[in-house]
Structure 1
Amino acid sequence: MVMEFREKDLDLQNIISDEVNKYLKRDLGMMAATKRAPQQLIDKYEKMEVPEKGRDIYDIMNELDNEILEYIHRGNHPRSFSFIPGPGSRLSWLGDILTTANNIHASNFKNATLPISIERNLVNYFAGKLGFEIKPAGGVFVSGGSMANLTAVVTARDEKIATKEVYRAVVYISDQVHHSLSKAFHMAGIPKENVRRISVDAEFKMDLKALAETVKKDTEAGMKPILAVGTAGTTNTGAVDDINGMADICEANDLWLHIDGAYGLSHLLSTKGRDLFPGIERADSVSWDAHKLLFQTYSCAMVIVKEKQHLLNSFSEQAEYLDDIQSDDDVIDPEMIGMELTRPARAVKLWITLQVLGEEQYRARIDYGQRLAEYTAEIVEEMENWKIISRPSLSILSFKYIHPNLSEAENNKVLSNAAQRMAASGYAVTYTTELNRQKVIRMCTINPETTKEDIMGTLNRLDGFVKDEIEGL
């Protein structure tokens, strides 16, 4: 007896077509960059029960369009300047639709031969951009920078210290490093007290003298330094650590060098390319997010290592039920070099985008983002009582309002309130961060659809909100 299920009776073809058309026709610039859901809707969906009998699909779609997907932060909005925006290309979205619709299980070569061939090809392509030798280099697509960093940390741990000695392992990061590294160290069993936070210089780069001295001190104390993490494009300022200098220290002390380039390394495709990251070819591993400046939808990232064998050493396992589909040639299945067995074909959508746009278009888009950051700095410098705190670097800059008659605490409060008012207005997202204990506005201008008019409109509104706040003091 064949069961007849309700999905067959639904007009899914027309519903899907309608939703796709709505998406393609919408003008994000006319929508709110961020919109907070009212409490009544939060209560509605947190308390909603699963019905005994299914509801009308058009009622569900109405809730999705007008409620659930209305009250979100739109990272692909042309005036979403905080965090690191995710301006996903429609080409990437197309790839998402196709790979999801085909429900690809991209764990091994025999399940998804050509999607994995594409993944291997792109890993080799990006390894080449880093200056790694294609063989023995390797890598795997993962969900995001957090998983990429965790994969690299575990690999470094296994390469540099015996499991029974992990309590002696010491790792080194700057105080500008992404918070995902702290999680990675914890999950890898590195004691919290063995994580050394190295200070940064005036340009927010790791202080290499402090790093060398700390490594020396730990070694003399009987500890085992195993890993230093540099950043190629910090979240706060876009700063790039001195990779060559870090590599010298790591090589002299047998440390693994990991570079968190989740955001910044995509600038390897820009006009300046590897000149922005001298020494990147000396890293042992990198993390690299495609869902940031490679314009992919969430989630799509990579961890790339100089020697693929290290990933195999950490993640290769044999499961009897996989015997019939294990690769029998020189192809190494993704599930053997990363945490995931169940995994989507993340590389396909990036491949589509790269093939359609080509390097020339990528280069133009990334260069444009940096020029927008420089333009923003020029405008800010002309505004009364505004000061640049960190110069444009990899399309990121930070600045703040400093009224001469207000205290630092009052200026900070005025700036924070102005940023909240901006978000509440829906026009743009320009939240604050903290640098040297100062509240600053941080803007990341990587969306190729952002215009100079968007920049000017945002800065004018910020200035107006600040002045309104001062009048209310």
Structure 2
Amino acid sequence: MSRLNPILAASAQSIEAYQQAITQSTEAVVQWLQQPEMYQGKTVAELRERIALDFNPQGLGNQAAIERAVEFFLKDSLSVHHPQCVAHLHCPSLVVSQAAEVMINATNQSMDSWDQSPSATIIEIKLIEWLRAQVGYQAGDAGVFTSGGTQSNLMGLMLARDAFFARQGHSVQQDGLTGDLRKIKVFCSENAHFSVQKNMALMGLGYQSVTLVKTDEFARMDVNDLAAKVAQAKANGEQILAIVATAGTTDAGAIDPLRAIATLAAEHQIWMHVDAAWGGALLMSEKYRDYLDGLELADSVTLDFHKQFFQTISCGAFLLKEARHYELMRYQAAYLNSEFDEAHGVPNLVSKSLQTTRRFDALKLWMSLEALGQQQYAAIIDHGVTLAQDVAQYVTEQPLLELVMKPQLASVLFRYRPQQLAAQGENAIALFNQQIGDALLESGRANVGVTEHNGVTCLKLTLLNPTVSLDDIKVLLALVDKTAQQLLNA
């Protein structure tokens, strides 16, 4: 039995097996971190052919299982920390976040009841209180850690829906949806995250319930168009559940005019939810905090920490302005959050979450805040925003590159525009930029995003890595140019 994996426990055999497995794994990670390639460059077909499961009836033992994971997973993983891995909102992680994962995984606390996670429950509550203060909410602990933006946005939309019906004397929780559901609408910008549509479909209201509001030249919600669409909806007898504002759109990093939207929402008594999954990092900023002006007026807020807070996936939070709205989703189970517990002040967080069993992801943020301190945290967040501005300036100075939009957070949208393709039209230039992005990833040397802005296909640099400098990006852009020239010559 010693060759097999014992349960993690206090026995000498278990502790020895744990130490050996962790040591073997961390040594492999250290070796992987030092490989020069961003990616080994295998295609989908090659990975399908290469990766095979080996569920031996007798078991392989820990050492062999870890060796196979290194061979088939680790070696072919994308190096998110690599300076030329800049395609997505996919951050490198803080070392202290990795340390937190060791404790989270080993203790295996479950956040659904205090007696499954005593110290963890109190730490999460205190972090929620702190996050609320950063947003500008009144003192309280209405909020919860989540798996990320999609789940947080679902909570905001669900509570907005249930609060809307509650004002009409109807409980969705008890009696379900009622009335002409096709008349129920949610408003968001045309650049809002796809999870707005996804979540409205999950709630049984469908994509048709989402009204898209026009955006300005900087991809921000046009408040005049919002006002016009709200007025038109009311004239049509439609009922508006919520306005979803975005603080940091996926591509442009655009932050909607939060204060103006909040004013309009309050005028019409409409729930305002802010998806600040990316831009919420500016709560820590010393230079750009004012970009979030008006966030404190929102009824609910989404935050993500596995973006520009540099936490390991997954780590997010949902904040609710008024705790009374949590009653709309509260469910009591004698085995988790009994009346007896509540009467004695026992905090069981299951009432605040869509999940039951839930990881103690809050530990990562807590340890990071303590390890870095607010000043250093602000510096690494601000670095990406400032770097994007410097990169944009550099792009404008290159004859074959075109800046598609002025940066707002830490992303740069640009495209390669060779003279010989200009005469062939926009479709030819769009296809060419797609080919550049594909060729870079296939080579294993860089991962650059390919997206669209106002119908223009462009390349995207998402500059979340605080160790990346302007010189690193100049090397990357030289590689873009070299790749483009090879494609043109071919």
The TM-score with structure 2 as length reference comes to: 0.90
What is the match of residue 127 of structure 1? 132
Following superposition, the deviation at residue 291 of structure 1 comes to: 0.8
1:304-331, Cα deviation, whole Å (9 max, x unpaired) = 11112212322x1111333398444455
What is the match of residue 319 of structure 1? 333
Over 3 Å counting, the alpha-carbon distance change for 1:74 and 1:181 in structure 2 is farther
- Alignment of 1:142 with 2:146, yes or no, is yes
The partner residue of 1:430 within 425, 428, 448 is: 448
Which amino acid is 1:200 matched to?
T
Unaligned 5+ residue runs, structure 1? Answer: none
1:188-238, Cα deviation, whole Å (9 max, x unpaired) = 222322210111111111111111111111112111111011110111101
Contact 2:4-2:61 at 8 Å conserved across structures: no
Over 3 Å counting, the alpha-carbon distance change for 1:249 and 1:330 in structure 2 is farther
2: CA distance, partners of 1:166 / 1:254: 20
Task: State the SS of the aligned residue for 2:116.
Answer: coil
1: CA distance, partners of 2:259 / 2:242: 15
Following superposition, the deviation at residue 28 of structure 1 comes to: 5.4
The partner residue of 2:37 within 31, 42, 48 is: 31
- Alignment of 1:16 with 2:45, yes or no, is no
What is the match of residue 244 of structure 2? 229
Task: State the SS of the aligned residue for 1:30.
Answer: coil
What is the match of residue 473 of structure 2? 455
2: CA distance, partners of 1:42 / 1:166: 48
1: CA distance, partners of 2:93 / 2:342: 33
Following superposition, the deviation at residue 60 of structure 1 comes to: 2.1
- Alignment of 1:79 with 2:84, yes or no, is yes
Count of equivalent residues: 467
2: CA distance, partners of 1:401 / 1:235: 21
What is the match of residue 187 of structure 1? 202
Following superposition, the deviation at residue 13 of structure 1 comes to: 2.0
Contact 1:34-1:426 at 8 Å conserved across structures: yes
What is the match of residue 9 of structure 2? none
Unaligned 5+ residue runs, structure 2? Answer: 7-12, 171-176
Task: State the SS of the aligned residue for 1:286.
Answer: strand
Give the aligned CA root-mean-square deviation in angstroms: 2.2
Over 3 Å counting, the alpha-carbon distance change for 1:116 and 1:28 in structure 2 is farther
Which amino acid is 2:332 matched to?
Q
Greater mean deviation of Cα atoms: 223-232 or 448-457: 448-457
Following superposition, the deviation at residue 6 of structure 1 comes to: 3.3
1:115-140, Cα deviation, whole Å (9 max, x unpaired) = 111111111111111111123x6200
- Alignment of 1:294 with 2:309, yes or no, is yes
1: CA distance, partners of 2:146 / 2:95: 21
Over 3 Å counting, the alpha-carbon distance change for 1:38 and 1:233 in structure 2 is closer
Following superposition, the deviation at residue 58 of structure 1 comes to: 3.0
Over 3 Å counting, the alpha-carbon distance change for 1:248 and 1:342 in structure 2 is same
Following superposition, the deviation at residue 244 of structure 1 comes to: 1.1
1: CA distance, partners of 2:189 / 2:239: 18
Contact 2:91-2:308 at 8 Å conserved across structures: yes
Following superposition, the deviation at residue 395 of structure 1 comes to: 1.1
The partner residue of 2:65 within 45, 60, 65 is: 60
- Alignment of 1:251 with 2:280, yes or no, is no
Contact 1:107-1:342 at 8 Å conserved across structures: yes
Contact 2:308-2:464 at 8 Å conserved across structures: yes
Which amino acid is 1:153 matched to?
L
What is the match of residue 55 of structure 2? 50
Which amino acid is 1:235 matched to?
T
Contact 1:166-1:189 at 8 Å conserved across structures: no
Which amino acid is 2:392 matched to?
A
1:33-65, Cα deviation, whole Å (9 max, x unpaired) = 4743563542454x6363321124333222211
Which amino acid is 2:335 matched to?
Y
Greater mean deviation of Cα atoms: 83-92 or 325-334: 325-334
What is the match of residue 10 of structure 2? none
Over 3 Å counting, the alpha-carbon distance change for 1:86 and 1:329 in structure 2 is farther
What is the match of residue 164 of structure 1? 178
Greater mean deviation of Cα atoms: 255-264 or 316-325: 316-325
What is the match of residue 380 of structure 1? 395
The partner residue of 1:93 within 80, 90, 98 is: 98
2: CA distance, partners of 1:254 / 1:324: 34
1: CA distance, partners of 2:25 / 2:226: 53
1:388-443, Cα deviation, whole Å (9 max, x unpaired) = 11112111120112234422111112111111111122222112100111111111
Following superposition, the deviation at residue 446 of structure 1 comes to: 1.4
2: CA distance, partners of 1:469 / 1:31: 22
Which amino acid is 1:453 matched to?
D
What is the match of residue 350 of structure 1? 365
2: CA distance, partners of 1:34 / 1:216: 54
